[in-house]
Amino acid sequence: MRRRLAAAAILAATGLASFTATAASAPEREVGATVRVVSFAFKDDDVGVKSGQRIKFKWSGNNTSPHNVTLRDGPDGVGTRDFTSETGTSAIRFAPKFVVAGTYMFRCTIHPDLMRLRVTVGN
């Protein structure tokens, strides 16, 4: 009886651990690209993803000036609400999901002449 309980406990713990690892990594599979918000530039400034993927924006911890990511122009029917980040120097979390295929143009509204990004979303 003890062996059965021990075996059941091991199977339960192993199954739970593998389920937790899968659940934790699932959102990362949705990320098609990462764009760094660094100094006065988007690194990379021309990115392509598939429909249904996210772009993860990462603010550098070395920024001395605040930045944001704001949709300037996109495919018909796409609003700016889901494609506008907070403004800050670091620790901003922003990972919008791109569903509609087409070209999206972003800018930092604080540095619009320096910080531009083109995202191409394909099927």
DSSP per residue, the chain: -HHHHHHHHHHHHHHHHHHHHHHHHHHHHHEEEEEEEETTEEESSEEEEETTEEEEEEE-TT-SS-B--EEEE-STT--SGGGB---BSS--EE--EE-S-EEEEEE-SSSTTT-EEEEEEE-
Q: Is residue 23, in this structure, part of any structural domain at all?
A: no
The pLDDT confidence band at residue 91, using thresholds 50, 70 and 90, is very high
Indicate whether 13 belongs to any domain. Answer: no
Copy the structure tokens of residue 38. Answer: 């660094």
Least confident stretch, 23-32, 36-45, 87-96, 99-108: 23-32
Query: 2 lies in a domain?
Result: no
In a domain, 76, yes or no: yes
Residue 9 lies in a domain: no
Domain region containing 32:
28-122
Q: Considering the domain boundaries, does residue 73 fall inside one?
A: yes
Predicted TM-score (pTM) of the model is 0.76
Closest CA relative to residue 66, chosen from 46, 40, 35, 95? 40
CATH number for the domain harbouring residue 118: 2.60.40.420
Task: Provide the mean pLDDT of the chain.
Answer: 85
Structurally, how many domains does the chain consist of? 1
pLDDT of 27 reads: 61
In this predicted model, what pLDDT tens digit does every residue of 52-76 receive, in sequence order? 999 999 999 999 999 999 999 999 9
Q: Is residue 112 part of a domain?
A: yes
Query: Per-residue confidence at 19, pLDDT binned at 50, 70, 90?
Result: very low
Domain membership flag for residue 78: yes
Supply φ then ψ for residue 71, to 5 degrees: -70, 125
pLDDT number for residue 22: 33
Q: How confident is the model at residue 123 (pLDDT cuts 50, 70, 90)?
A: confident
Report how far residue 31's alpha carbon sits from residue 27's, in angstroms, rounded to the nearest whole number: 7
